[in-house]
Amino acid sequence: MTSPLLDFQDLPLFDQIRPEHVGPAVDVLLQEAVTALEQVTAPDFPADWTAIARVLDVATERLSRAWNAVGHLNAVADTPELRAAYNEAMPRVTAFWTQLGSDERLYAKYKAIDPATLTAEQAQAHRNAVRNFVLGGAELRGAAKERFAQIQERQAELSQKFSEHALDATDAFAYFAERDELDGLPEDVIAAARAGAEAQGKAGYRLTLKMPCYLPVMQFAKSSALRERLYRAYVTRASELGDPAFDNTALITEILALREEEAKLLGYPNFGALSVVPKMAESPEQVTGFLRDLASRARPYGQRDVAELRQFAASELGLADPQPWDWSYIGEKLKEARYAFSEQEVKQYFPAPKVLAGLFKIVETLFEVSIRRDSAPVWHPTVEFYRIERQGQKVGQFYLDPSARVGKRGGAWMDDVRARWLRPDTGALQTPVAQLVCNFAEGVDGKPPLLTHDDVITLFHEFGHGLHHMLTQVNERDVSGISGVEWDAVELPSQFMENFCWEWDVLRHMTAHADTGEPLPRSLYDKMIAAKNFQSGMQTLRQIEFALFDMLLHTEFHAAGAAPGAVMALLGQVRDEVAVLPSPPFSRTPHTFTHIFSGGYAAGYYSYKWAEVLSADAYAAFEETAGADGLPSVETGRRYRQAILEAGGSRSAMDSFKAFRGREPQLDALLRHQGMAEPLAA
């Protein structure tokens, strides 16, 4: 019987993949890939791009697709058995990719390819490949090469363990509250907590650290003691202050030490310098300069935000000395008082099906495509599957997995199942497929899930990534869609889509009150717009704090021989420089900072702010060309689709941006969008 992981006829057989399939399938695919590598590196094999792709790329793409399916299930449907199978196979997979990326025979073959024989897309992929060989250790020899391979394998192991600890520490917490402790919480959150307790045969209300529960508790629970209980559990997850089985402290130190060693082996002074090589930014110093410049602009606004919170807490809430677990609650109360609405009031107008229909409508209109339901094997009953068509032709497909649940990693992300590729083995065009994953609350009492406006923004953000992957017109796999796009520009299409969540002509078509079906009233929308930049100074500084900490951690920090607590000490220094709200000494933010320790953003978290400059300036083009009815211009949408989305990684992000905007990006649109364009009066 054929393993479902070895079936590449079409889409992954997610409903059939079992833990026992993983090891045997990986062995088969690794053997195929090793055989292909030996074939193309033989002395008599031609140094020809297409010939190499026909043998090696076909084999490695099969391995990637199968392993990505396993990794995806590990992230969204984690079980002890699957985790064990994944961890057992991972060292072998990592070792192969390391071997492939550093194979000097293959490197020599690629260097021997005549660029004059390549198309523009192939030439870009070829340049990237040669660069990646160098970064992958292909020029290392002997003991250095051996050590480089050991570092890669150990890093993969540690990153996976870091991610597991963060997930397990989050899943392990539950507090069964009494009804009177929940005063102030929204009814749907209370109902979900009650259902959670009943599902475990317990009395009371089950509160967790998953976002759909944790965030409303911090914003709305009147009980300071309840907020403190969840806050302390949340900020100490996966640290020495929690369950020792999930402590990430030692992992952080070892990961950082290995990254520094890897950089030194490749001839770079630190991991930050290595990290920016394939990015838009030219150096870590340019990044820290950018972040500190933005911090200096945002700081007066952040200080004003905190002063307003303190004043309101003292005068209206009787909190003369707010504690860390009070700030979200104070902020929500101040917003309600100032703008006369609450997040919960807004949430009633955003049932998930209506939001999705509104998202599809704006995408279909702007980018001249149609989105239809489709069918495919899925990993959970709540997962939906769709196809995107243009002029009746399929251009891409995507899975949507919206709900938070046990065994599913927190946060939201887009992953690719497969890339667009004019296959060199069959000559057929392979269309791209994406996975869009969120962690929204589920519906209760038979009603559809209700999304907060932040949830809506998250959905649009991830869909922006998906569009970048699915609307590409590039036929070369390594530079189609998101592949080959500089990491600090990859957030441009996602952050760009967020802007539509604030447009009246978009919102009114994607809202319907959960009980009455009425669309969002203009009066409530006006309040939302008035509150749009509420605490934007504080929020900007918070992102800069993470980004600056990340870059300094990978440039100025030396893990080898570092004193215990040195990572937290560095974070303390960054907070002293940037933050306007004090953090408690027991907060262990780094211990669940999965973006940089297990998510590919190491020395790259700045990418969010960097790309925000690009996305705000790109969106300004739509503001400048909007019609008299306020609707975005389809012509501008077409230019954006062709210059940014369809081009994928086939040219530099700066070239794509300039093709769309006619110039280099400017900071002023971002500052204007965030209400920080005008200096504050002293």
What is the DSSP track for 375-397?
----SSTT-EEEEEEETTEEEEE
Over residues 437-463, mean pLDDT: 94
Whether residue 480 sits in one domain with residue 414: yes
Whether residue 680 sits in one domain with residue 570: yes
Whether residue 384 sits in one domain with residue 295: no
Whether residue 521 sits in one domain with residue 457: yes
- Tens of pLDDT along 156-179? 999 999 999 999 999 999 999 999
Residue 412 scores a pLDDT above 90: yes
Whether residue 515 sits in one domain with residue 555: no
User: Quick check: is 79 in a domain?
Assistant: yes
* 1-10, 131-140, 308-317: segment of lowest average pLDDT: 1-10
Backbone angles phi, psi at 134, to 5 degrees: -60, -45
Q: What is the pLDDT of residue 561?
A: 86
Whether residue 242 sits in one domain with residue 225: no
CA distance 154 to 250: 13
For all residues of the chain together, what is the average pLDDT? 96
- Tens of pLDDT along 327-371? 999 999 999 999 999 888 999 999 999 999 999 999 999 999 999
Confidence of residue 446 (pLDDT cuts 50, 70, 90): confident
Question: What residues are annotated to the active site?
Answer: 462
User: Quick check: is 627 in a domain?
Assistant: yes
Backbone angles phi, psi at 401, to 5 degrees: -120, 95
The domain boundary residue, chosen from 478, 501, 525: 525
Q: Name, in order, each residue with C-beta under 8 angstroms of 579's C-beta and a sequence gap of 6 or more.
A: 541, 542, 545
Q: What is the pLDDT of residue 318?
A: 96
Region of residue 201 (phi > 0: left; psi between -120 and 50: alpha; otherwise: beta): left
Whether residue 560 sits in one domain with residue 515: no
The domain boundary residue, chosen from 186, 206, 233: 233
Burial of 244 (0-12, 13-18, 19+ CB in 10 A): exposed
CA distance 537 to 398: 36
Domain of residue 374, CATH code: 1.10.1370.40
CA distance 291 to 301: 16
Tokens standing for 94?
């990592």
Whether residue 549 sits in one domain with residue 674: yes
Q: What is the pLDDT of residue 464?
A: 98
CB atoms within 10 A of CB 262: 19
- Tens of pLDDT along 253-275? 999 999 999 999 999 999 999 99
The domain boundary residue, chosen from 151, 168, 185: 168
User: Quick check: is 335 in a domain?
Assistant: no
**What's the gap between Cα 528 and its chain centre?**
26
Whether residue 200 sits in one domain with residue 344: no
- One-letter amino acid at 459 equals L
CA distance 569 to 571: 5
- Say what the pTM is: 0.94
Q: What is the pLDDT of residue 174?
A: 97
User: Quick check: is 69 in a domain?
Assistant: yes
- Tens of pLDDT along 188-232? 999 999 999 999 999 999 999 999 999 999 999 999 999 999 999
- Runs of H (alpha helix) within 77-139: 80-101, 104-111, 120-135
The percentage of the chain sitting over the pLDDT mark of 90, rounded to a whole number, equals: 95
Q: What is the pLDDT of residue 447?
A: 86
Residue 72 scores a pLDDT above 90: yes
- Tens of pLDDT along 228-248? 999 999 999 999 999 999 999
Whether residue 626 sits in one domain with residue 505: no
Q: What is the pLDDT of residue 681?
A: 60
Number of domains in the chain: 4
List Cα–Cα distances, 488 to 439, 599, 667, in angstroms.
24, 14, 15
Over residues 552-559, mean pLDDT: 96
User: Quick check: is 334 in a domain?
Assistant: no
User: Quick check: is 328 in a domain?
Assistant: no
Q: What is the pLDDT of residue 2?
A: 84
Residue 1 scores a pLDDT above 60: no
Are 528 and 341 contacting, i.e. CB atoms less than 8 angstroms apart? yes
Q: What is the pLDDT of residue 627?
A: 86
Whether residue 248 sits in one domain with residue 161: no
CA distance 56 to 58: 5
Return the residue matching tokens 């100490």.
236
- Do the bridges between strand 384-390 and strand 433-440 make them parallel or antiparallel, or are there none, so unpaired? unpaired
Q: What is the pLDDT of residue 245?
A: 97
Residue 618 scores a pLDDT above 80: yes
Domain that holds residue 620: 237-322+533-682
- Name the β-bridge partners of 403: 440
User: Quick check: is 333 in a domain?
Assistant: no
Domain of residue 609, CATH code: 1.10.1370.10
User: Quick check: is 327 in a domain?
Assistant: no
Whether residue 248 sits in one domain with residue 226: no
Q: What is the pLDDT of residue 631?
A: 80
CA distance 458 to 168: 24
Over residues 541-552, mean pLDDT: 98
